[in-house]
Amino acid sequence: MLGVKHFRARDVRLRDSHWTRHEAPARLAWLAFLALAAFGAGTARADDAPPIAIVVHGGAGVINKAEMTSEREARYRTGLEAARDAGYAVLERGGTSLDAVTAAVRSLEGNPNFNAGRGAVLNHDGIAELDASIMDGNTLAAGAVAGVKHVKNPIELARLVMEKSPHVMLMGPGAEEFALEQGMPLVPNSYFRTEERVRQLERALKEEKEKALRTSGALESGHGSGSEGARVSEGARVAESGRVAEGARVVGANARASGAGETRSQGKASAARTAERLAAPDVGASTVEPTPIGTSGTVGAVALDRFGNLAAATSTGGLTAKRAGRIGDSPIIGAGTYADNKSCAVSSTGDGEFFIRAVVAHDVCALMAYKNISLEAAAREVIHEKIEGLKAAGGVIALDTSGHIVMDFNSDGMFRAARDSRGRKDFAIYHERR
Amino acid sequence: MYSIAIHGGAGGVPADLLSKDNGARYTDSLSKALDAGFAMLERGGSSLDAVTTAVRSLEDDPLFNAGHGAALTREGWAELDAAVMDGKDQRAGAVASVRHVKNPVDLARRVMEKSRHVLLVSAGAEEFALEEGIPLVANLYFRTDERRFQLASEQQGRSVSDLMPGGAAANRRLQAPMGWLGTVGAVACDQHGNLAAATSTGGMTNKRQGRVGDSPIIGAGTYAKNGVCALSATGHGEYFIRAVAAHHVACAVEYRNLTLEAAVRELIHSRIPALGGSGGVIACGARGEIVMDFNTEGMFRATRDSTGRRQIAIRRS
């Protein structure tokens, strides 16, 4: 087994991604079983077969019910169910969990309603910056990309990083160079941009500007140091002169500087407030997130295949109006994505900074493996105690090798859908009524 | 008990590395970083300040693969990664692929303290540095002749040390099995029992542009949680990411009640090798106990605590 892993890690170019060497015997055995079953008593009953399952999510967060029209809800539902079924189809025809999660996430990346791939949110400069990661629970092989701007399906590039490079994580232009070397065409950044995301960015920048103006007013009335107040109002004037994007950027920078000044000048008295500010749900540079699905419309999938192998994948555009170069939890192995056949597969979505600090995905796996608790209990502890304790919000989808499905969150809702060989096939947004 | 431990990378130790003045140069440098960090603890400073100070000292020393003297990418650039984590409230900050920040660990700390983010990368991270009043330096500042020589050797198919510029120059025929991986890091426990960890690196020699290893990944190369442990890792980063190495040790201590020593041993001598990787970690337990373990021939390491223990070592003792 060690030899196989060694081979996979070091000489992946020789490997056929759809028929891995270590799977081949299992798959042959399975095909033989299917053939026998067909000759014999007809089709194998689902109960006898090892379970297969897939779970997908389309983000968790504050759900603005005023904006969540039934028409919009239907679009999310259609998109998630299509992704779920695309992944399930791969599993059903004997494909790997790795192929299933890739197919499901690719489907969501192609859907402009979700914050990944086409339709990703825009950063402060109006650019889509994409992150994705994938992990194989059988070998613990993993791949991730961050801050890519021209890769149509970041999840496919993450998979190539896993399978065709000796690395786990590549970012920025270096990741795109690798994409080109692998024969993957690049697309202009405008491919990702949708009218709705442009409007959302405009709203976020406007709110940021208004907030900065309020801050500058407060500073000028004597609550902060004079020089910082002056800098903020100067930034605000630039913003008012019509150069909205650039001006707002200056305001944003100074608003941050003024926050720091406040911490310095008021010392311990403001410690509590500073803690509160740091603990506030992350909404990038804006205070109010105008999207109907809150701050994180990240997408992800976890799957279990016939060979008993788990896989997880996550993809995102991050936060609306985020600072260029900000990376959340989605491409971080252990935070946004983790899979280990010994415990479970997890894809998370939520306030990314807090999910990184809590190493959410790996923590769910570790709790399950080390404390001998159920997947459900492990996910509950991480989301409702640890993440809740950090005053953050979000959720996870998770799956273990027995096919137990967990979808847990502490936000208003989480777009989610699941399907398995035991007949489960569902979609939900809000908390289930108990 | 308050304590600090630092590392300057793990790897093979060429026979003549410690000969002549070489050994003394490394131990002097480690000694300086160790005592700078320890002095902070001694006068009641935080573990966060201690690890930042120690790592900054190692970043400034061209012997180590971080800051000045960092390893170079395929195209000859220095691309730096760093992370810091405060065990008290588990705040964290990290930067990756920055090219113009003299002390990446200081910027990582700013990300933690002055932004609402945890990880900022490349140009965006440098924009933030400028906003914070941190001056940028030319990429040339980081590049040393030894690192250029290593890059050229690597590109001509000769494997050399990433860990020590002087060592590499003196060991042109060296065949290091896993290459050399001279990341730096520190862990500490202060007088209030607060833990902290910091790690900084230039990554692998001849690395692809944009390649990120475990150092700036919270949970992989750097992690700290009061009452559990603080860790900084060094080694073949890809394997440490896949194992979520630092968090894995913390989980083994917290959930399985393993001793820190046993948890580190399991990571370094079982989990990482099982994946095919090699390297080492330094760790500081809830009561300031220090564990330093590695599965390579050597690891530059040093530790000092309030009981008077002071140790600097390279090879297995």
Q: What is the tens place of the pLDDT at every residue in A274-325?
A: 333 333 333 343 333 334 444 458 999 999 999 999 999 999 999 999 999 9
- B68/B60 Cα distance (integer angstroms): 5
Average pLDDT over all residues of chain B: 90
Q: Which residues are within 8 A (CB) of B253 and not within 5 positions of it... i.e. 6 or more apart?
A: B228, B229, B259, B260, B263, B285
Name the A residues in 185-224 with CB < 8 Å from any B CB: none
Burial class (CB in 10 A: 0-12, 13-18, 19+), B140: exposed
Please say if the pLDDT value at position B163 is more than 50: no
Q: Pick the residue from chain A with its C-alpha nearest to B116.
A: A278
Q: Does B111 touch chain A (CB under 8 A)?
A: no
Query: A131 by DSSP, 3-state: which?
Result: strand
CA-to-CA distance for B280 and B163, rounded, in angstroms? Answer: 14
- Four-point Cα dihedral A179, A182, A187, A189, nearest 10: 0
In chain A, the residue whose alpha carbon lies closest to the alpha carbon of B94 is: A327
DSSP string covering A145-203, please? EEEESS-S-HHHHHHHHHHHSS-SEEEHHHHHHHHHHTTPPP--GGGT--HHHHHHHHH
Identify the sign of the CA torsion A176, A177, A183, A188: positive
Q: Is the ipTM of this complex over 0.85?
A: yes
The CA distance from A366 to B42, in Å, is 36
Instruction: Give, as one character, the DSSP assignment of residue A380.
Output: H
Chain B residue nearest residue A3, CA to CA: B276
Distance CA B289, CA B275 (A): 28
CA A174 – CA B212 distance, rounded (Å): 10
pLDDT at B181 (0 to 100): 61
Predicted pLDDT of residue A219? 56
CA B263 to chain centre: 19
Helix (H, G, I), strand (E, B) or coil at A40: coil
The reported pTM is 0.83
Find the angle CA(A185)-CA(A190)-CA(A195) to the nearest 5 degrees. 140
Contact A253 B238 (CB under 8 A): no
Helix (H) or strand (E) segment spanning residue B30 = helix B22-42
- Comparing CA positions, the residue from B44, B46, B84, B88 lying closest to residue B226 is B88
- Say if residue A34's pLDDT is above 80: no
β-strands B119-121, B91-98 pairing: parallel
Residue B14's pLDDT band (cuts 50, 70, 90): low
Short-list A135, A356, A157, CA closest to B216: A356
Average pLDDT value for residue range B274-278: 94
Q: Of the candidates A45, A52, A107, which has an alpha carbon nearest to the alpha carbon of residue A405?
A: A52
Nearest Cα to Cα of residue B182 among B263, B61, B41, B94: B61
How far does A323 lie from chain B, in Å, by closest CA? 7
pLDDT band at A33 (very low <50, low <70, confident <90, very high): low
Residue A253, phi then psi, degrees to nearest 5:
-60, -45
In the predicted model, is pLDDT for residue A47 greater than 60?
no
Among B128, B209, B255, the residue with its CB nearest the CB of A367 is B255
The percent of residues in chain A predicted with pLDDT above 90, rounded, is: 63
Q: Span B31-44, mean pLDDT?
A: 98
Instruction: Give the integer Cα–Cα distance in Å for A175 and B282.
Output: 31
> What are the residue ranges of helices labelled H in A219-297?
226-240, 244-266, 271-279
Rg over alpha carbons for chain B, rounded to the nearest Å, is: 17
End-to-end CA distance of chain A, in Å? 45
**Is residue A191 left, alpha or beta, with left meaning phi > 0 and alpha meaning psi from -120 to 50?**
alpha
Residues 51-90 of chain B with CB under 8 A from chain A are 85, 89-90
